[in-house]
A and B are shown apart, each in its own frame.
Chain A
Amino acid sequence: MSSTPPGVASVVVERLVKRFGAFTAVDGVSFGVEPGEIMGFLGPNGAGKSTIIRMLCGLLRPTSGRALVAGLDVAREPEAVRQHIGYMSQRFSLYADLTVLENLRFFGGLYGVEGREFEARSTWALEMAGLLDRKSALTSELASGWKQRLALGCAVLHRPPILFLDEPTSGVDPIARRAFWELIQQMAAMGVTVFVSTHYMDEAEYCHRIALIHRGRLVGLGAPETLRHHALRGALLELVCEPIGPALDALHAAPGVFDAAVFGSRLHVVVASAERAHAELPAQLAARGVRCTGIRTIEPSLEDVFVQQLGAREPQPGSPP
Chain B
Amino acid sequence: MPASTSALPVPPAEVADAVVVEALTKRFAEVTAVDRLGFRVAPAEIFGLVGPDGAGKTTTLRMLAGVLVPDAGSASVAGCDVVREAELLKTRISYMPQRFGLYEDLTVEENIRFYADLFGTERRTREERASRLLAASAMGEFRRRLAGQLSGGMKQKLGLTCALIHTPRVLLLDEPTTGVDPVSRRDFWRILYSLVDEGVTVVISTSYLDEAERCHRLALLRGGRLLLCDTPANLKSRMRGEVVVATSPRPRAVRDALARAPGVLGALLVGTAVHLNVDDAARIPALEGALAAAGVPCDSLLRVEPTMEDLFVSAVREAEEAAP
Number of residues on chain A facing chain B (CB within 8 A) = 52
Residues of B within 8 A of A182 (CB): 268-269
Q: From residue 8 to 56 of chain A, which have CB atoms closer than 8 A to chain B? A: 38, 42-47
A117 interface residue (CB < 8 Å to B):
no
Whether B181 and A223, one on each chain, are in contact in the complex, defined by CB atoms closer than 8 angstroms, is no
A108 interfacial by beta-carbon distance below 8 Å: no
Residues of chain B contacted by A205 (CB below 8 angstroms)? 270-271
Contact of B247 with A45 in the complex, beta carbons under 8 Å: no
In angstroms, how far is the closest chain B Cβ from the Cβ of A139?
14
| CB-CB nearest in chain A for B320 | A175
Query: Is A44 in contact with B181, judged by CB distance below 8 angstroms?
Result: yes
Chain A residues with Cβ under 8 A from B152's Cβ? 45
B contacts with A, residue count (CB < 8 A): 49
Residue of B with least CB distance to A172: B52
Interface string of B243-260 (1 = CB under 8 A from A): 000010110100000000
The chain B residue with its CB closest to the CB of A264 is: B216
> Judging by beta carbons under 8 Å apart, are A303 and B182 in contact?
yes
Q: Are A208 and B271 in contact (CB under 8 A)?
A: yes
Neighbour of B313 across the interface among A175, A185, A207, A223, CB < 8 A? A175
The answer to whether B52 and A144 have CB atoms under 8 Å apart is yes
B75 to chain A, nearest CB (A): 24
A175–B180 Cα gap in the complex (Å)? 24
Given A46-B151, A264-B231, are A206 and B271 also a contact pair (CB < 8 Å)? yes
Residue B272 at the A interface, CB < 8 A? Answer: yes
B178 contacts A143, C-beta separation under 8 Å: no
Inter-chain contacts of A321 with B (CB < 8 A) = none
Taking the complex as formed, is B213 at the interface, i.e. its CB lies under 8 A from any CB of chain A? yes
B181 adjacent to A45 (CB under 8 Å): yes
Residues of B within 8 A of A143 (CB): 54
Is A171 an interface residue when CB atoms closer than 8 A count as contact? yes
A45 CB contact (under 8 Å) in B151, B214, B269, B272: B151
Give the distance to chain B from A266, nearest Cβ to Cβ, in Å: 8
Please state if B222 and A173 are interface contacts (CB–CB under 8 Å). Answer: yes
Tell whether, in the assembled complex, residue B214 and residue A224 are in contact, meaning their CB atoms are under 8 Å apart: no
Contact B182 A199 (CB under 8 A): yes
**A145: chain B residues within 8 A (beta carbon):** 52
Q: A199's closest neighbor in chain B, by CB?
A: B181
A175: which B residues are within 8 A, CB to CB?
313, 316
A264/B232 in contact, CB under 8 A: yes
A92 on interface, CB distance cutoff 8 Å: no
Q: Give a binary string over B180-198; 1 marks a CB under 8 Å from any A CB, 0 the rest.
A: 1111111001100100010
Which of A57-65, A280-288, A305-313 is found at the contact surface with chain B?
A: A305-313
- List, in ascending order, chain B residues with CB within 8 A of A244's CB: 193, 197
- The reply to whether A170 and B178 contact each other, CB–CB distance below 8 Å, is yes
B262-290 to A contact mask, C-beta < 8 Å, 1/0? 00000011111100000000000000000
A200 interfacial contact with B, CB 8 Å:
yes
Q: Are B216 and A44 in touch, CB under 8 angstroms?
A: no
A146 CB, min distance to chain B CBs, angstroms: 11
CB distance from A198 to the nearest CB of B (A): 10
CA–CA, A177 and B152, complex, Å: 24
Contact residues in A for B316 (Cβ distance below 8 Å): 174-175
- The segment out of B84-92, B115-123, B204-212 that lies at the interface is B204-212
CB distance from A43 to the nearest CB of B (A): 7
Min distance, Cβ B169 to any Cβ of chain A, angstroms = 19
In chain A, what residue has the closest Cβ to B192?
A262
Chain B: CB-nearest residue to A200: B208
Q: What are 20 residue pairs bridging A and B, where the CB atoms are less than 8 Å apart in the complex?
A: A44-B182, A45-B151, A45-B152, A45-B153, A45-B181, A167-B179, A171-B52, A174-B309, A175-B313, A181-B269, A199-B180, A199-B182, A205-B270, A205-B271, A206-B270, A263-B213, A264-B46, A266-B233, A299-B304, A306-B182
Q: Which 9 A-B pairs have the closest CB atoms?
A: A173-B52, A44-B181, A171-B53, A45-B151, A45-B153, A144-B53, A171-B207, A262-B193, A174-B312
